[in-house]
A = this chain, B = another copy of it.
């Protein structure tokens, strides 16, 4: 049997690690969520930037594959997609998936900044006024701009099945599922209003949720519920 992958990510939140977890779960490959084990946190920290680490990571998630450490969410998915059939085989399709994933990473970073527009070193409560202003721009300008884009990608895809790329599920579909779920958690009113404009994306969300491996994962204790430690946070004053 292959040595299981080790996922290095904070315990207690979905965060960026969730995009990796969804790919591992859909692929059905064995992995250990290191920080959730007893004594896992020091191991995580050491692997990130311990003195002995030749390829340190600026931040988790990091995937440990044998002796190799792979950091940055989109980079981990580039690796997993190629290895486990969650990306096209041809280079052009691989680059297209990577481009879409990087655009997802952009909106995810912006979603984070709605509650921390000034500093990640300050509490939300200490930047609430600025958060309200940034969240308003995010709701009114940025979410529609990004979702228009991704809806267009799904609609223009000539492959059958309603996926983002080609005629088979890729890691981009899993990440779009997580994006729609996250935005719907953090901005329920906004997303309820916007949903009818994005039939392709919401159908894709439902389709991904029904994949047997994903559905089993979502029902399991391995799926940490959305909460206010993650990227997508439900602060009612930031939604309208």
Contact = CB atoms under 8 A, between A and B. Distances in A.
Contacts of A68: 92
Nearest to A97: B75
Interface string A110-153: 00010001110110000000100110010001000010010011
Given A70-B95, A118-B137, 5 more contacts: A49-B149, A49-B152, A75-B102, A122-B137, A130-B130
Interface residues of A, number: 42
Interface string A156-182: 101000000000000000000000000
Contacts of A146: 58
A184 interface: no
A116 B105 CA distance: 19
Contacts of A54: 156, 158
A95 B78 contact: yes
21 contacts: A49-B149, A54-B156, A56-B149, A58-B106, A58-B149, A68-B92, A70-B99, A74-B102, A75-B98, A75-B99, A79-B95, A102-B102, A109-B109, A113-B113, A117-B130, A117-B134, A119-B137, A121-B137, A121-B141, A122-B137, A130-B133
Nearest to A104: B58
Contacts of A55: 96, 99
Nearest to A145: B58
Chain A at the B interface: mostly helix, strand, loop or mixed? helix
Interface of A: 49, 53-58, 68, 70-72, 74-75, 78-79, 92, 95-96, 98-99, 102-103, 105-106, 109, 113, 117-119, 121-122, 130, 133-134, 137, 141, 146, 149, 152-153, 156, 158
Contact of A98 (B78, B119, B153): B78
Q: Which 8 A-B pairs have the closest CB atoms?
A: A119-B137, A72-B102, A72-B99, A58-B103, A71-B99, A118-B133, A75-B99, A75-B98
Instruction: Select the residue from A58, A96, A102, A106 with max chain B CB neighbours within 10 A.
Output: A58
Contacts of A153: 56
Contacts of A74: 74, 102
Contacts of A137: 118-119, 121-122
A134 B131 CA distance: 12
